[in-house]
Amino acid sequence: MTDILCVEDYRKLAKKRVPKMFYEYADGGSWNEETYRANTNDLKDIKFRQRVAVDISDRSTKMKLLGQEYSMPVALAPVGLLGMQHADGEIHAAKAAESFGVPFTLSTMSVCSIEEVSDKTEKPFWFQLYVMRDRDFIYRLLDRAKEAKCSALMITVDLQLMGQRHKDIRNGLSTPPKFTFKNMLDLSLKPNWCIKMLRTKNRRFGNIVGHVEGIKDMSSLSEWTTNQFDTRLTWNDIAEIRKKWDGKVILKGIMDPQDAQLALKIGADAIIVSNHGGRQLDETSSTIAALPKILDTVGDKCEVWMDGGLRTGQDILKAIAMGAKGTLIGRAFTFGLGANGEAGVLGTLRILQKELDMTMALCGRKNLIEVDQSILL
C-alpha cells in the first residue's frame, strides 16, 4: 500500500475501494454543497501563531469529555450506513475507537445493530438517536441502548426532514444496493468490497429491521426517512426523551444561540455545533463561524463541541483554540474505514493525533488546557 500520510490519502483510497453510491453518501452535501465546502474553507482561513524557544517537552493531547479522559478531544461521530463503507463497518470503527481511547457513537441508521456492536466491544460506546414518529420504537431503542450499557445518548435535532442530497438521489442510494446495470458495473470494479460483504449477514439497518411493526421492506433509506422522521418535533418532545435517559445527554445540530438556550433548559450535558456536515440546510453558516456565538450564549453551563470540516489535527486544534471543549469527526474516519477497515480508522486517529500534537508544540503549548485564541493570528 502507498504510504498514507494524511486523511486526504485515505479519502482517495476509499474512493477507489467503496462503491460510488456509498462513497458519495459519505462525501457529499445538500443542494449545491455550499455549506459542505464552507465548513472546510472557513477552517483554512484561520491561521496559527508560531512560537520558538519554548519548552515543549512532555506534551499531552489528553482531554476530558463529559468528565472522562480520552487520548484526545475527538469522538467518532454517528455516521449512517458505516456497514456499507466496509463490511461490519460499525464494529470495526467501534473497536478502533476503543483501542485508541476515544468515544465511538453508533447511529440509529447503522447497519450493525446496537447488540452486535456491544457484543464485539468491551467498553461502553455512545448511541445516537433520530426522533421518529413511532415513539414506541424510539423508547424501545433507548431500552436496548441501556441494556447495551451505552454511556451517553446523543440526540440529533436537525433532521426533521432530509435535505435534498443530489448525489444520493442520482445514485439511487439503498442498502443493500439495487440490482441495476449501473450498480452491478460499479460493484464489478470493487471485488474486495463485494467479497467481504458476502461474508457478513449485516447488510440492512440492524437497529430497525425486525424491530419495527408493519415495515418489512427496508431497502430504501429515503422511503423510511420520509415516513418516519418527525416534522412535528418540538423541544417538549426532546425534553420527554431526555427524562427517559438517566445518563449523559448530548444534543447534536445546534447552530443558533436561541436553540442553545433551549438546549440548556432541557438539561443537555453537551451540545454540538453542527450543520450535519453540510447535508441539511445549504447556504448557512459553517460550524466554526457559528461556534463563537454559541459559546457566548452557553458559557460554562454545559460543554460545547463542534463538528464539520475537520480533516486534520490542525483543524481540531483550531476548534479547541476557538473555545470548543471537544470535536467530532465523521468523514475523516469514514474514509479510513472505507480504505482499510479497522486499521484504516486507527490510522486516521494516529494521523490526527500526530498533527494535533505537532501543531500544538509549534504554537508553543505542551497540552490542550493551555490552548486558547492566543495561539491564533
For the residues of 225-292, what is the DSSP string, one character each?
Answer: HHHHB-TT--HHHHHHHHHT--SEEEEEEE-SHHHHHHHHHTT-SEEEE--GGGTSSSSS--HHHHHH
pLDDT of 353 higher than 50: yes
Greater model confidence, 351 or 219: 351
The mean per-residue pLDDT over the stretch 70-83 comes to 97
pLDDT for 209 equals 77
Report the distance separating Cα 266 and Cα 195, nearest Å.
47
Name the nearest CA neighbour of 27 among 36, 35, 16.
36
All domains of the chain, ordered by start, with CATH?
Answer: 18-41+68-95+102-309 (3.20.20.70)
Average the pLDDT over 347-361 and give the result. 98
Closest CA to 98 of 83, 78, 117, 113: 117
Which is higher by pLDDT, 299 or 211? Answer: 299
Q: What is the mean pLDDT of residues 18-41?
A: 96
- Cα gap 161→10, rounded to integer Å: 31
Q: Give the tens place of pLDDT for each residue, 177-196.
A: 888 899 999 999 999 999 99
Residue 69 predicted with pLDDT over 60: yes
* Residues making up the chain, counted from first to last: 377
pLDDT beyond 80 at 18: yes
pLDDT at 93 over 90: yes
Strand partners, 63: 70
pLDDT reported for residue 369: 96
Q: Which three cell numbers stand for residue 132?
A: 421518529
The predicted structure's pLDDT at residue 25: 95
Burial level of 6, CB count in 10 A (0-12/13-18/19+)?
middle
pLDDT at residue number 220: 47
Residues 256-265 have a mean pLDDT of: 98
Q: Is the dihedral of CA 151, 266, 325, 25 positive or negative?
A: positive
Supply the residues annotated as catalytic: 276
Mean of pLDDT over the chain? 94
| Alpha helices in the chain, H assignment, sequence order | 7-17, 20-26, 34-44, 82-85, 89-100, 114-120, 135-147, 166-171, 181-188, 191-198, 221-228, 235-243, 257-265, 287-298, 313-321, 331-362
Closest CA to 146 of 227, 245, 212: 245
Q: How far is CA 139 from the centre of its chain?
A: 22
Q: What percent of the chain has pLDDT over 70?
A: 96
Query: Lowest mean pLDDT: which of 200-214, 275-289, 313-327, 343-357?
Result: 200-214
CA separation for the pair 80, 108 (Å, rounded): 7
- pTM here is 0.95
Tell me the CB-side half-sphere exposure of residue 186, using CA atoms within 13 A.
18
**Gyration radius (Cα) of the chain, Å:** 20
For the stretch 49-60, pLDDT in tens is 999 999 999 999
Give which of 227, 228, 249 is closest to 156, Cα–Cα: 249
In 3D space, the residue among 150, 20, 171 whose CA is nearest the CA of residue 85 turns out to be 20
What is the reported pLDDT for 228?
82
Q: What is the pLDDT of residues 311-328, one digit of tens each?
A: 999 999 999 999 999 999
Structure confidence by residue, pLDDT tens digits, 116-172: 999 999 999 999 999 988 899 999 999 999 999 999 999 999 998 889 999 998 988
